């Protein structure tokens, strides 16, 4: 018998990773795929899995898309996944135990293992850490910006921390182990533009801040990440760079007569 859990997965041109994700979710009663407009073979791959319900929804933003997937779920319990992740079999077994407790939490956090070129990142910035993943559909909602947050029973998770359970660290969701510079550079333009679009009206960016963003962020992050070795150095450089690009775009929007394109996803896919 399949687990009465709905997996929730957003896709957009995910043909390289979606099979790995869906293979790990075969025991679920349902996997809700919400696609923002793939032009590759994502849809065809998804339709080969009998437990997949596939929906096309033109990209409305992260929160609206996550909420769309939640509302489409048939089961009371949902497991949120990214298309470039898989869940370890023992973690899926732990999901089954959690939902069958006599008095389960309405939400559970699960550790996601982060990788850089097959090296697990277990310390410093961007390390493997707990994320809110398994939850009761009708008690949890998404809110926030590009980095989504959750509400439980209408209150933020910080106000309802006592309602969140944690899986033991050994039970994990696994990010793409091959993730490296190539994949990061592919995502960089869209992510930078989306973050700038979200933040540019919130505060003014000056030239001094622009000039110091890269060195100050690099030092701040590397102090936390140096124990991770060369991967820690690379992650520190990456993060400082993307934060600098976001602020450069914000500065441009605030100080030059340029058009803000709120349909970034249509340009970059």
Domains of the chain from N-terminus onward? 3-174 (3.90.550.10), 181-268 (no CATH)
Of the candidates 190, 212, 227, which has an alpha carbon nearest to the alpha carbon of residue 13? 190
207-225 helix and 230-255 helix, angle to the nearest 10 degrees: 160
Classify the phi-psi angles of 141: left when phi > 0, otherwise alpha if psi is within -120 to 50, otherwise beta: beta
**Whole-structure pTM value:** 0.85
Distances from the Cα of 227 to the Cα of 127, 164, 235, angstroms: 11, 30, 12
Q: What angle do CA 166, 170, 175 make, to 5 degrees?
A: 90
**pLDDT tens digit string along 179-200?**
999 988 988 888 888 888 888 8
pLDDT of residue 128 exceeding 60, the answer is yes
**pLDDT tens digit string along 10-69?**
999 999 999 999 999 999 999 999 999 999 999 999 999 999 999 999 988 889 999 999
Averaged pLDDT score across all residues of the chain? 92
């Amino acid at each position: 018998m399949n687990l009465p859990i709905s997996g929730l997965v957003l896709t957009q041109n995910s043909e390289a990773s979606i099979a790995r994700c869906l293979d790990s979710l075969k025991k679920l009663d349902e996997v809700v795929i919400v696609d923002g407009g793939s032009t590759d073979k994502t849809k065809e791959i998804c339709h080969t899995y009998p437990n997949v319900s596939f929906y096309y929804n033109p990209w409305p933003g992260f929160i609206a898309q996550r909420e769309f997937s939640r509302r489409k779920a048939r089961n009371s319990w949902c497991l949120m996944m990214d298309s470039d992740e898989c869940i370890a079999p023992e973690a899926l077994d732990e999901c089954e135990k959690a939902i069958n407790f006599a008095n389960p939490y309405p939400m559970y956090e699960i550790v996601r293992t982060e990788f850089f070129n097959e090296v697990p990142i277990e310390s410093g910035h961007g390390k493997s850490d707990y994320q809110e993943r398994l939850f009761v559909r009708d008690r949890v909602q998404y809110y926030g910006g590009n980095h989504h947050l959750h509400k439980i029973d209408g209150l933020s998770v910080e106000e309802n921390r006592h309602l969140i359970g944690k899986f033991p660290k050994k039970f994990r969701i696994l990010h793409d182990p091959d993730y490296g510079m190539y994949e990061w550079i592919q995502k960089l333009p869209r992510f930078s533009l989306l973050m700038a679009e979200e933040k540019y009206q919130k505060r003014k960016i000056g030239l001094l801040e622009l000039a110091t963003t890269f060195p100050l962020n690099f030092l701040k992050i590397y102090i936390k990440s140096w124990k991770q070795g060369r991967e820690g150095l690379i992650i520190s450089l990456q993060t400082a760079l993307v934060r600098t690009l976001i602020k450069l775009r914000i500065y441009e929007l605030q100080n030059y007569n340029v058009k803000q394109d709120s349909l970034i996803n249509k340009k970059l896919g």
